[in-house]
Amino acid sequence: MDLNAVRTFVAAADTGQFQEAAAVLSITQQAVSKRIAALEKYLDVRLFARTARGAQLTIDGQAFLPHARELLRVAERADASVRPGRRALRVDIVARRIAPAGLLQDFHRMHPDIELDLITLDADVTAAIAAIEAGTIDATFHAVPLHQHLPKMISTARVLDEPHQLLVGPRHPLANAVAVTPSQLAGHRIWMPGLPSRGEVADYYAELTTTFEFTIDALGPVFAKEALLEEIADSADLATLVGEGTRYLWPDSYDLRRIPLHNPTPVYPMSIIWRDDNQHPALTTLRDYLDSTRACAPDTEVWTPAWTAAHPAHTAASR
* 3 state SS of 98: coil
For the chain, residues with pLDDT lower than 50 are: 297, 310-312, 316-319
Cα–Cα distance between 163 and 3 in angstroms, integer?
Answer: 55
Strand 189-191 vs strand 216-217: parallel, antiparallel, or unpaired? parallel
Query: Does the pTM exceed 0.85?
Result: no
pLDDT of the residue at 51: 80
Would you state the pLDDT for residue 122? 84
Quick one: pLDDT at residue 76? Answer: 80
Rounded CA separation 85/76 (Å): 14
**Angstrom distance (rounded) from CA 178 to CA 254:** 19
Looking at residue 318, its pLDDT comes to: 44
